[in-house]
Structures are given as structure tokens and as C-alpha cells.
Amino acid sequence: MTLFETARRSAEPFLPPIYRRVRRALLKEIRAFPDRPSVLDVGGRKSPYTIGIPADVTIIDLPRETQIQNSLNLGITDSIAERIKGRRSNVEAVMFGDMTRSELPSDSFDLIVSVEVLEHVEEDNLFVSEVARVLKPGGRFLMTTPNGDFLENRNPDHKRHYKRDQLKDLLSRHFGEVEVEYAIVGGYYRRIGLKPWSIRKPIQTGLSAFGNVVNTIQSSREGIKDQATGTHHLFARATKADK
């Protein structure tokens, strides 16, 4: 592992719990493969959930072109792509691309992960269809998106917030087996946990790390996966049918 990967892995207990949830799910899936699997990370510009995982990772994301992308820190540039490849030992490629019109070959990835991306996509059915196309038969798609059963959409780049039944219906059009759960409790500790880390702001960084630890404990309580009110994310796992 690179120095960057080692440092980020050591910070893992203090990361936002949604990232830790995705990482745990990914590692569980990876352990089921006899060989090193291929993982496609859609929209994974930072992707702390794939840092250091024992898999060959390809990252695909939109080029950063619009004012909204700049203001919300979305998409990638050439310099971001080079920085990712320089810091990460498991990244095979960083690609500029639109997942609704992908040029990736069919049946080419064992696992696909997409964290807080689908809500930004206008053509959501086409996006999910392409994910299913490039996933190998029997492969898994892991994703998260804001919980539309609880959260009002106030983000200028979010096209919609899905209710759990809506997301399950969308995924079921293209996958044989679909599970959708509620995840991550909201409130004060979640809010402070999302504050950015900076060596120039040690107090804020320490509070953010503490907030994430507490929020992880809160979000691990029994019954959270069925709790629509008060949770901020939907976590979905979908399996492509074998041919």
C-alpha cells in the first residue's frame, strides 16, 4: 500500500459511517471471490470505501465542466485523475465517462459500487441499465442515495430523492435480486461529522472525527434498516441474474 492508503486506512474509524458501511459490504463481497475481483467505482472521485481493498478498481466519473460541479466539488479533471492514480495502488484506471452512455464492454466487472450518485442522474433508468450491462452475470451492485422517505430535496444538482419502494422498483427492472435498507441516523453528530478535515482547523477536525464515531454507534442500533424517519440514506444491494 502507498503512504496515502496507509494514512487513510488508519483514519477509517473516524470517517462518515456511510463510507464505512459501504466498505464493509464491499469487503464481504470481495471475500467470496476465489481470485482478485474487478470493481467499477461509478462517480468515485474520492471513494474512501475502495482505498486499499484487495481488488482491481476502475473509477469512472464525469468531467468537471459546469459551475455547479465546481461549486459542489463534483466530477474529475486531468489533475484529479493523475492524483488518484499516484496515491492508490489498487486503481487500474481513471476514466472520464457518462454511465448512462458507457463505452465499457458488457459483462466486464465482478462488482460495481456507486455512492451518492444516482440522485444526480437525469436518466436514472438508463444509468441502472448500463450498470447491469457491464456487470458480470451473478455480480453485485452496491449503491447509496439520499432517503426520499425522510429528506426533502434541496440540492441544486439532485434530480430526485427516492423513496425506498421507488428505488427498489427501479433496480428490479434490471436485476434479479434487490434489497434496499434505510441507513445512517441524522442529527447533531451526523452534521458535525460531515465538516471537512483540515490541519489548519484542528478543533473542527477533532469534532468531526468524534461526531462520526458517535454517529456510527447511533446508526448501528437494531432496527435502523427499517426506520424511514430520521435516517438519511438508502443502501441497496442488487444481484445480476446468471445467464
> In this predicted structure, what is the pLDDT of residue 73?
67
Q: What is the pLDDT of residue 222?
A: 93
Q: Dump pLDDT digits (tens) for 64-122.
A: 767 767 776 677 788 888 888 888 999 999 999 899 998 999 999 999 999 999 999 99
Contact 124, 150 (CB under 8 A): no
Of 87, 98, 96, 112, give the one whose Cα is nearest residue 29.
112
Query: Over 70: is that where the pLDDT of 127 sits?
Result: yes
* pLDDT at 62 (0 to 100): 84
For Cα atoms 232, 233, 239, give the angle at the middle one, nearest 5 degrees: 170
* Sheet strands side by side (includes 231-239): 91-96, 56-61, 38-42, 109-115, 135-146, 231-239, 177-185
Average pLDDT, integer, range 204-227: 97
Per cent of the chain over pLDDT 90 is 78
- Is pLDDT at 140 greater than 70 in this prediction? yes
Beta strand pairing status for 38-42 and 56-61?
A: parallel
Q: Does the structure show a pLDDT above 70 at 22?
A: yes
Residue 37 and residue 119: Cα distance in Å, rounded? 27
Mean pLDDT across the chain, nearest whole number? 93
**Alpha-carbon distance 19 to 150, whole Å?**
20
Q: What confidence score (pLDDT) does residue 67 get?
A: 74
The rounded distance, in Å, linking the Cα atoms of 134 and 132 is 6
What integer pLDDT is reported at residue 142 of this predicted model? 98
Span 197-202, mean pLDDT? Answer: 92
Cβ-proximal residues to 86 (8 Å cutoff; 6+ apart), any chain: none
Lowest-pLDDT range of 137-141, 180-184, 194-198: 194-198
Question: Domains (ranges, CATH) in the chain?
Answer: 3-183+225-239 (3.40.50.150)
Average pLDDT over residues 31-56: 92
Residue 29: which pLDDT band, with cuts at 50, 70 and 90?
very high
Residue 107 has what pLDDT? Answer: 97
Question: What is the average per-residue pLDDT within 32-56?
Answer: 92
Out of 59-68, 149-158, 203-212, pick the least confident.
59-68
